[in-house]
Amino acid sequence: MNGEPDDYLRAVEAALFVAEAPLTPAELRLHVGDAGDLAAVLRQLTDEYAGRGINLVERGGRWHFQTAADLAHILRREKDEARKLSRAAMETLAIIAYHEPVSRAEIEAIRGVQVAKGTLDVLMEAGWVRPAGRREVPGRPLIYATTVDFLSHFGLSSRRDLPGIDDLRAAGLLDPVDLALEGLGGQSVLENDDDVA
Amino acid sequence: MNGEPDDYLRAVEAALFVAEAPLTPAELRLHVGDAGDLAAVLRQLTDEYAGRGINLVERGGRWHFQTAADLAHILRREKDEARKLSRAAMETLAIIAYHEPVSRAEIEAIRGVQVAKGTLDVLMEAGWVRPAGRREVPGRPLIYATTVDFLSHFGLSSRRDLPGIDDLRAAGLLDPVDLALEGLGGQSVLENDDDVA
Amino acid sequence: MDDLFIAPAIPSPDTLTVSFDAWEGPLDLLLTLARSQKVDLREISILALTEQYLQFIDGARQLKLELAADYLVMAAWLAYLKSALLLPRQEQADPSPEELALRLQLRLQRLHAMRDAAARLMARDRVGRDVFVRRKPEGLRLVRKAKWQASLYDLIQSYGQIRARTQPAVHVIAVRPVMTLDEAIQRVGALVGAAIDWTRLEAFLPTGLDSAKAKSALASSFVAALELARQGRLEIQQDGIFQPIYLRAGVPDRGAKA
């Protein structure tokens, strides 16, 4: 951290330090006012803290300080054991995150099994998934999406940071099967089978 | 903060950041080990954070980060909220206004009900009532009077502008509540009958 | 794409002791089998996969393992698909077996992609596991400062109510227009002395009274007459119910005779 930090930067730093939850720039402004260029200050703080034991990060439009990931081993406590998700819950969460908004039927189509009763509950209770309205199709099924807390928890600035999402989208793997079939124009997979056979 | 902070310093920094309470060097060592000169690192961190929005401070042999003292005001944001006075507060205020200076015991004698501790506090917080010395009687009770703010809030140029007892009576404001209610029923009907007869 | 997700190992059918609980349904089992082909899922041979699945189910059946219905349904469907794919191409059914195979392949790819994504997601630096926020932040406080509101009317109304509530109540009983009994006894006693003949009660009442007082005078005078009769100072006569009441002065010896 170089030079004399100005009071506006100091105020932003202090507010982020004491905050109980990540703050949006708008929330920060309620406390620190408009006396400076908040975006620039956040960038400067991010730079100043990069490489330190504490980092300033942005998650889903909200900012917070957190410890550097490589120090996890000295900071982790027994009771910090992260919530152990079932395989079904993990997959369901991933499907929602990569496809959102998505209905239960769509989740089931991808997983090939029914979504057990508690699975979505667990994800909603964790604060990672929320109902996001209804799809305007017959039956008006509820659709689900991820939350800002989901982004914070998994260290994502936005959904664009989801691992491999661009590749998956480019490969058509996030499209429904029907859509993918149309895209392939009926191209046969039998060629491969023929090779093997 | 200059140069590349080493891992030991980063670990100390992170441990102090997450700590639930100020840490002694011994407690810190439980986390960060003995790989460095802890005292030197604490001094270095203190220096690096001096002048920032967060400072590292030592109090009674325990170390913790805290926000810089001059920034306290930004961490508390005040918000005005319109609230209505409770009936008890309103009555207490009225008694003080009509009888000032008046002690709490006198207020209670006039109201016929005890005055809760918070009631006078609310009136003083509102800025309408102030302690006005003590009455020179046994126990030397505190006496209360209204303020200039009281007059301006209620649009009075002086307490003499308060309507007198006769005005109140003329306005029907001295009718006991239940009698006044009866007056709407039986009693007035009889009077009307007499008028007619 | 590295496989971060650890799939259940595929036991060989002859050492098959696991229950099918290890898989979340036929698609899951198919994916596990497909991955054992060690090729990109896009290159997977659906025919070979079908073979694998049917063999696996067969093995399980020989061991009399109880299979959930959906595994058997999938087996039947794959058997159908296999024969359709192997048959000489003729009038293609709709959808064609090739399309069905492609659909299955796409579904496997999607499930695999999401499984992989889930594993990568879980491996990220997670708050509370890998990175930490302050455990006891002081918190940004929003102090709600009450702006008290009260009007002058509220103030004086309150005061009026206190005064009304605490004033000693004085009850005044209104003087009603009555003739008291004493008054009536005096008046009737004085007047009856002059009346030798039977005289109607009404004649003993003062004149010029308003209706309320007149009623009271009548009632009091009647009670007075009863009292005076009891004392033997007058006599009362009435010819019948609701008939006029007559009074005359009492005669002491006549009274004694009666």
Neighbouring CB atoms inside 10 A of C128's CB total 17
Supply angle C-alpha B3, B9, B11, rounded to 5: 130
Strand partners, C123: none
Q: Which residues of chain B lie closer than 8 angstroms to A67, CB-CB?
A: 14, 17-18
Reported confidence tier of residue A197, pLDDT bands at 50, 70, 90: very low
Strand B54-59 to B62-67 pairing? antiparallel
Q: Does B15 touch chain A (CB under 8 A)?
A: yes
- Report d(CA B86, CA B83) in Å as an integer: 9
Spell out the long-range contacts of B19-26 with Cβ–Cβ below 8 A and sequence spacing 24 or more. B19/B64, B19/C135, B19/C136, B20/C135, B20/C136, B21/B62, B21/B64, B21/C136, B22/B59, B22/B62, B22/B63, B22/B64, B23/B62, B23/B63, B23/B64, B24/B61, B24/B62, B24/B63, B25/B61, B25/B63
Q: Do A19 and C113 touch (CB under 8 A)?
A: no
Contact between A69 and A76 under an 8 Å Cβ cutoff? The reply is: no
Does a structural domain hold residue C172? no
Rounded to two decimals, the pTM is: 0.62
Contact between B16 and B49 under an 8 Å Cβ cutoff? The reply is: no
Q: Does B69 touch chain A (CB under 8 A)?
A: no
Beta-carbon contacts of residue C220 (< 8 Å; ≥ 6 apart): C178, C179, C180, C181, C183, C184
Lowest mean pLDDT among A153-167, C84-98, C154-168, C174-188: C84-98
CATH number at residue B168: 1.10.10.10
Does a structural domain hold residue A162? yes
Confidence at residue A177, expressed as pLDDT on a 0 to 100 scale: 81
pLDDT per residue over A142-172, tens digit each? 899 999 999 999 999 999 999 999 999 999 8
On whether both A70 and A23 belong to a single domain, the answer is yes
B113 CB-contact burial (10 Å; exposed 0-12 / middle 13-18 / buried 19+)? middle
Dihedral angle, C-alpha A154, A160, A163, A169, nearest 10 °: 140
On whether both A69 and A96 belong to a single domain, the answer is no
Q: Does A30 touch chain B (CB under 8 A)?
A: yes
On whether both A30 and A101 belong to a single domain, the answer is no
Does a structural domain hold residue B143? yes
DSSP A160-175: GGSTTHHHHHHTTTTS
Confidence at residue C8, expressed as pLDDT on a 0 to 100 scale: 58
* Domain boundary, last residue among A25, A43, A74: A74
Q: Do B14 and A53 touch (CB under 8 A)?
A: yes
Does a structural domain hold residue A133? yes
Domain carrying residue C53? 26-123
pLDDT per residue over A94-125, tens digit each? 999 999 999 999 999 999 998 887 899 899 98
Strand A142-146 to A102-103 pairing? antiparallel
Q: Which residues of chain C lie closer than 8 angstroms to B21, CB-CB?
A: 136
Spell out the long-range contacts of C235-242 with Cβ–Cβ below 8 A and sequence spacing 24 or more. C237/C198
Reported confidence tier of residue B125, pLDDT bands at 50, 70, 90: confident
Buried-state track C71-102, b at ≥16 Cβ within 10 A, e below 16: beebbeebeebbebbeeeeeeeeeebbbbbbb
Q: Which residues of chain B lie closer than 8 angstroms to A50, CB-CB?
A: none
Does a structural domain hold residue B188? no
Q: Which residues of chain B lie closer than 8 angstroms to C148, CB-CB?
A: 83-85, 122, 125-126, 128
What's the structural domain count of chain C?
A: 2
- Where is pLDDT greater, at C111 or C156? C111
Domain carrying residue A116? 87-183
Q: Which of A17, A18, A74 sits opposite B32 (nearest CB)?
A: A74
On whether both A143 and A93 belong to a single domain, the answer is yes
Q: Do B53 and A17 touch (CB under 8 A)?
A: yes
Neighbours of chain A (3+ CB pairs under 8 A): B, C
Does a structural domain hold residue B29? yes
On whether both A103 and A162 belong to a single domain, the answer is yes
What count of CB pairs under 8 Å joins B to C?
A: 122
Phi, psi dihedral angles at B59 (to 5 degrees): -130, 115
On whether both B95 and B178 belong to a single domain, the answer is yes
ipTM: 0.66
Contact between A106 and A98 under an 8 Å Cβ cutoff? The reply is: no
Does a structural domain hold residue B197? no
On whether both B94 and B170 belong to a single domain, the answer is yes
A140 CB-contact burial (10 Å; exposed 0-12 / middle 13-18 / buried 19+)? exposed
* Domain boundary, last residue among B42, B74, B106: B74
